[in-house]
């Protein structure tokens, strides 16, 4: 029997990138580049991303990251969509800003990880923007070398593959960068890095990601559920009738249940706001607002985050059990 496809498995490590339509040099404006960086910083916090490398060039970006329970597709849709809307509003323009949907490549071993980190951070050199990465502001290299107080990169997690102590890891990472520059024919004579090696500490290891024998994450599996089935399963777990959520009741408990069901469904189970709105007899704007409110609340309230995780886990168990019984037919996974 063929192995069932998975819609999303959390903890994936990806190299993500995209270009602006028509080759527009949007990030040539430092203020626009900073707008994107700050938006990415906010999305990182909201969706629990780990960032290992990043670089902005005038007409494109690269990011190496690990996802959490929030699917990469939702994270990137929000990042690119929000930036595009704000950019068009700032400049009084219309039409698509990005060349296409974002591109993503899976990183599946340490060698590939190191290669992607070096590739991403060397983009400004290869593009002729700078000949010294320590002078380039819109790149994670400076952060790894300790030149930025509030880095976007998770420095310990990014460097721990190069060594367990900060000094060693920075030296080895720098050596990889210099070797890659030499291979590409660039001047790889290093600037002094002694100033960055004065402090040393043991690097903090990232939270473990369970990996199977084929090197794949074994986080929650989420089989495809249509909107009605998702709503029914969620209500069974929460011991509430779907009719209550679809009613005109406005009490605090009912409102909280609606928000919880919508947030888990849309953020983690690929549900559409429009379909859930129709099933709940509510406006799509209201459902989207519930999800936004839940995203803010889970950033500040650990108890609420645990409740979201609990519902997500229970749904996974029920859906996988139904799939094993043949009640759910495998469907094609959404592309990254």
How far apart CA 289 and CA 269 sit, in angstroms, is 17
pLDDT of residue 330: 56
At residue 118 the predicted structure's pLDDT band, cuts being 50, 70 and 90, is very high
Q: How far is CA 22 from CA 83, 95, 97, 100, 313, in A?
A: 17, 12, 9, 11, 43
Q: How far apart are the first and last CA of the chain?
A: 25
317 vs 106: CA distance, rounded Å: 26
Give the mean pLDDT of 263-271: 92
Tell me what the mean pLDDT of segment 282-292 comes to.
95
Distance CA 175, CA 163 (A): 13
* CATH architecture of the domain covering 227-324: Orthogonal Bundle (1.10)
For helices 284-300 and 30-47, the axis angle rounded to 10 degrees is 80
Structural domain spans, the chain: 13-196, 227-324
Helices 273-280, 284-300: axis angle to 10 degrees equals 110
Phi/psi of residue 62, each to 5°?
A: -135, 140
Is residue 192 within 8 Å of 178, Cβ to Cβ?
A: no
Answer positive or negative: Cα dihedral of 87, 88, 90, 91: positive
Question: In the beta sheet, which residues pair with residue 16?
Answer: 63, 104
Same CATH fold, 227-324 and 13-196? no
Alpha-helix residue ranges (DSSP H) falling in 160-283: 166-183, 227-238, 242-245, 252-268, 273-280
Q: What is the mean pLDDT of residues 90-108?
A: 92
Mean pLDDT on 90-97: 94
Is residue 57 within 8 Å of 127, Cβ to Cβ? yes
Nearest to 1 by CA among 322, 317, 225, 329: 329
Q: Name the strands in the sheet holding 50-57, side by side, starting at the edge strand that comes first in the sequence.
A: 50-57, 60-66, 13-19, 103-106
- Structure tokens that stand for 290 in this block: 């519930």
Which CATH number is correct for 13-196, 3.30.70.1290, 4.10.80.40, 3.40.109.10, 1.10.630.10? Answer: 3.30.70.1290
Q: What is the pLDDT of residue 216?
A: 46
Angstrom distance (rounded) from CA 103 to CA 256: 36
pLDDT in tens, 161-182: 898 899 999 999 999 999 998 8
Chain segment 128-168, per-residue pLDDT in tens: 999 899 999 999 999 999 999 999 999 999 999 898 899 99
Residues 66 and 327 sit within 8 Å (Cβ to Cβ): no
Give the pLDDT score at 286: 95
The percentage of residues in the chain with a pLDDT greater than 90, rounded to a whole number, is 68
Q: Give the mean pLDDT of 63-80.
A: 92
């Amino acid at each position: 029997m063929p192995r069932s496809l998975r819609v999303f498995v959390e903890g994936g490590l990806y190299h993500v990138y995209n270009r602006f339509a028509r080759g527009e040099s949007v990030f040539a404006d430092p203020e626009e580049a900073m707008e994107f960086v700050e938006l990415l910083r906010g999305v990182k916090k909201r969706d629990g991303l780990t960032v290992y490398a990043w670089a902005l060039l005038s007409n494109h970006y690269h990011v190496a990251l690990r996802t959490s329970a929030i699917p990469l597709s939702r994270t990137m849709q929000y990042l690119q969509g929000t930036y595009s809307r704000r950019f068009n509003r700032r400049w009084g323009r219309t039409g698509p800003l990005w060349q296409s949907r974002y591109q993503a490549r899976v990183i599946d071993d340490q060698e590939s990880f190191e290669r992607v980190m070096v590739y991403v951070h060397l983009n400004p050199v290869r593009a002729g923007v700078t000949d010294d990465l320590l002078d380039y502001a819109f790149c994670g290299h400076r952060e790894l070398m300790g030149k930025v107080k509030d880095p976007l990169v998770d420095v310990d997690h990014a460097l721990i593959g190069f060594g367990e102590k900060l000094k060693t890891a920075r030296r080895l990472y720098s050596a990889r960068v210099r070797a890659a520059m030499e291979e590409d024919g660039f001047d790889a004579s290093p600037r002094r890095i002694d100033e960055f090696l004065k402090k040393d500490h043991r690097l903090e290891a990232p939270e473990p990601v369970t990996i199977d024998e084929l090197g794949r994450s074994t986080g929650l599996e989420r089989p495809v559920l249509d909107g009605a089935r998702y709503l029914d399963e969620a209500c069974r777990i929460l011991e509430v009738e779907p009719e209550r959520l679809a009613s005109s009741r406005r009490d605090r408990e009912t409102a909280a249940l609606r928000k919880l069901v919508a947030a888990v469904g849309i953020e983690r189970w690929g549900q559409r706001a429009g379909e859930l709105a129709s099933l709940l007899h509510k406006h799509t704007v209201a459902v989207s607002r519930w999800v936004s409110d839940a995203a803010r609340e889970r950033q500040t309230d650990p108890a609420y985050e645990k409740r979201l995780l609990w519902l997500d886990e229970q749904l996974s168990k029920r859906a996988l059990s139904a799939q094993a019984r043949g009640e759910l037919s495998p469907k094609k996974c959404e592309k990254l």
